[in-house]
């Protein structure tokens, strides 16, 4: 090769293997823009070349999972992943493998922090501060050791340190939220400098919009902000799906974010929740006026208007009598025939959120045993993929006579908006009228609501 003329290939290459694939393709995205959809070959391998002019963080997706991928111009990066344990099995080779393996290791450590928050939120604020400071110091030490052996670019160094710091900030935000909501008296014990880290936050960092720690921190900061005005005795104020709470967060999105991606991303998230948790026509009309004021070219107003049209059918007081569902034997049945004059609790799910479905089965069995005069019906949303629904049911120890699928003529291109209705609960009285559309299976208010229906 030394005797031949060699022109350096500037293309960037991404390839790898998917073990136990869910689909026959993978997707590469940059922020919300799809770079390409890449088909797997007969051995479940893939490869893709493209041109980039600067280093950046991309999103690699194999439905329904996704992860971050750092790339430089001219990189040749390979990965391997088993969908049975997506994040835990993901490993990188080739160029930038040290950077990418560091990022996935940080992601896994950050996921462990979810359990830590639930385990430690009852300890004192001072003890929690020391615990999280210690975790941050350990991760910084690990990065510094790796960085001393590698030649990380200033860009990646910022990504890595931001991943560590924003996870630290996020833990502080989540702990403060739990204390405010569940043990408000303990909030008086917070050190005066507890929130000093907020002075270091860049709320418009364009380099971090694909960074999980950064985006989760921003989300939890918005949640904390939305309950800071709450009187501890007013429990409705702490409900994150309450119309007023969502409106406070939407207002903060307007005030806080100048970055177009962040502003549109968080507006889309929150406006969808405001739509699907609207209880009255007046609330939907107010939401519509907010959409009209938020005039941005990247906003999918058509989809939001379709979502409003769907939600208008499920407001409190709406009739479910003539709604149609598909049984596991593929028969079409009306809600009236399913209810048989009893109060009904409908709860929605998708095979793409299989773990949530499994965790809800035990709760449903408990409620069904406590309230035998109430029908508990499971409504699957995967109406454009019957096989996905049927295969998921085979893996579940579930009563098929309570399992149904929604019937809809929505085009495939608009299927995604039904995911806004995942894990929703609808309570319907004996006259087929919706009496509540914003509770969850684990909300104590659900049982109170059921009792009020039975006592009518």
Please compute, for residue 194, the number of CA atoms within 13 A of its CA located in the half-sphere on the CB side.
20
Q: What is the mean pLDDT of residues 9-14?
A: 82
Give 217-232 pLDDT, tens digit per residue. 999 999 999 999 898 8
Backbone angles phi, psi at 15, to 5 degrees: -150, 175
Instruction: Give the separation between CA 285 and CA 301, rounded to whole angstroms.
Output: 14
Instruction: Give the separation between CA 418 and CA 20, rounded to whole angstroms.
Output: 26
Strand 403-406 and strand 324-327: pairing? antiparallel
Predicted confidence band of residue 456 (pLDDT cuts 50, 70, 90): confident
Instruction: Let me know if domain 9-95 sits in CATH 1.10.3720.10.
Output: no
pLDDT value of position 417: 57
Q: Which long-range contacts (CB under 8 A, 24 or more apart) does 438-442 make?
A: 438/241, 438/277, 438/279, 441/347, 441/360, 441/363, 441/364, 441/367, 442/363
Mean residue pLDDT of the chain comes to 87
pLDDT at 413 over 70: no
Burial class (CB in 10 A: 0-12, 13-18, 19+), 119: exposed
Give 364-410 pLDDT, tens digit per residue. 999 999 999 999 999 998 887 777 888 888 888 666 789 999 887 66
Instruction: Give the separation between CA 286 and CA 144, rounded to whole angstroms.
Output: 51
Q: So where are the chain's domains?
A: 9-95, 96-238, 316-454
pLDDT at 158 over 50: yes
Instruction: Give the separation between CA 80 and CA 89, rounded to whole angstroms.
Output: 8
Return the CATH fold of 316-454. Answer: Glutaredoxin (3.40.30)
Burial class (CB in 10 A: 0-12, 13-18, 19+), 18: buried
Give 245-304 pLDDT, tens digit per residue. 999 999 999 999 999 899 999 998 899 999 999 999 999 999 988 888 776 666 677 778
Instruction: Give the separation between CA 270 and CA 171, rounded to whole angstroms.
Output: 22
71 in Cβ contact with 55 (< 8 Å):
yes
DSSP 63: T
Contacts of 418 by beta carbon, 8 Å cutoff, 6+ apart: 381, 383, 406, 408, 410
- pTM of the predicted structure, to 2 decimals: 0.83
pLDDT value of position 304: 84
Using alpha carbons, select from 148, 63, 151, 160 the residue that is nearest to residue 104: 160
pLDDT at 216 over 70: yes
Phi-psi group of 417: left, alpha or beta (phi > 0 → left; psi -120 to 50 → alpha; rest → beta): alpha
pLDDT at 6 over 50: no
Percent of the chain scored above 90 by pLDDT? 47
Question: Which one is predicted more confidently, 120 or 347?
Answer: 347
14 in Cβ contact with 71 (< 8 Å):
yes
pLDDT value of position 1: 26
Question: Which one is predicted more confidently, 37 or 3?
Answer: 37
Question: Which one is predicted more confidently, 307 or 122?
Answer: 307
Question: Which one is predicted more confidently, 149 or 198?
Answer: 198
pLDDT value of position 416: 57
pLDDT value of position 284: 93
Q: What is the mean pLDDT of residues 113-127?
A: 79
């Amino acid at each position: 090769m030394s005797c031949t003329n060699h022109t350096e290939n500037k293309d960037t290459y991404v390839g790898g293997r998917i073990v136990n694939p869910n689909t026959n393709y993978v997707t590469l995205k940059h922020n919300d823009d799809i770079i390409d959809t890449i088909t797997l070959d007969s051995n479940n391998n893939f490869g893709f070349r493209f041109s980039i002019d600067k280093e950046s963080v991309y999103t690699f997706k194999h439905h329904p999972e996704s992860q971050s991928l750092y790339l430089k111009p001219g990189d040749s990066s390979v990965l391997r992943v088993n969908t049975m344990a997506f994040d835990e099995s993901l490993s990188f080779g080739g160029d930038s493998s040290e950077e990418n393996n560091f990022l996935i290791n940080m992601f896994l450590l950050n996921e462990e922090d979810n359990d830590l928050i639930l385990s430690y939120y009852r300890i004192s604020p001072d003890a929690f501060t020391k615990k999280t400071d210690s975790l941050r110091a350990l991760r910084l030490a690990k990065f510094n050791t790796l960085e001393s052996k590698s030649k990380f670019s200033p860009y990646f160094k910022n990504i890595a340190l931001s991943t560590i710091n924003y996870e630290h900030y996020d833990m502080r935000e989540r702990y403060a939220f739990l204390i405010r909501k569940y043990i408000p008296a303990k909030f008086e014990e917070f050190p005066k400098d507890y929130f000093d880290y907020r002075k270091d936050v860049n709320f418009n960092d364009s380099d971090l919009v694909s960074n999980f720690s950064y985006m989760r921190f921003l989300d939890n900061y918005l949640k904390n902000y939305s309950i800071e005005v709450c009187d501890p005795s007013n429990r409705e104020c702490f409900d994150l799906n309450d119309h007023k709470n969502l409106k406070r967060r939407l207002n903060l999105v307007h005030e806080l974010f100048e970055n177009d991606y962040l502003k549109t991303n968080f507006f889309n998230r929150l406006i969808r929740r405001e739509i699907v948790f609207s209880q009255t026509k007046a609330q939907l009309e107010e939401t519509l006026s907010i959409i009209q004021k938020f005039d941005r070219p990247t906003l999918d107003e058509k989809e939001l208007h379709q979502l409003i049209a769907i939600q208008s059918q499920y407001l409190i007081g709406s009739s479910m009598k003539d709604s149609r569902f598909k049984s596991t034997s593929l028969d079409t049945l009306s809600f009236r025939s399913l209810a048989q004059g009893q109060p009904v609790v409908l709860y929605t799910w998708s095979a793409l959120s299989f773990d949530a479905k499994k965790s809800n089965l035990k709760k449903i069995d408990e409620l069904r045993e406590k309230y035998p005069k109430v029908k508990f019906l499971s409504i699957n949303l995967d109406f454009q993929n019957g096989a996905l629904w049927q295969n998921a049911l085979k893996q579940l120890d579930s009563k098929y006579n309570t399992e149904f699928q929604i019937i809809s003529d929505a085009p495939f291109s608009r299927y995604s908006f039904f995911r806004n209705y995942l894990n929703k609960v609808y309570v319907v009285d004996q006259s087929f009228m919706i009496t509540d559309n914003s509770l969850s299976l684990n909300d104590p208010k659900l049982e109170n609501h059921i009792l009020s229906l039975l006592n009518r």
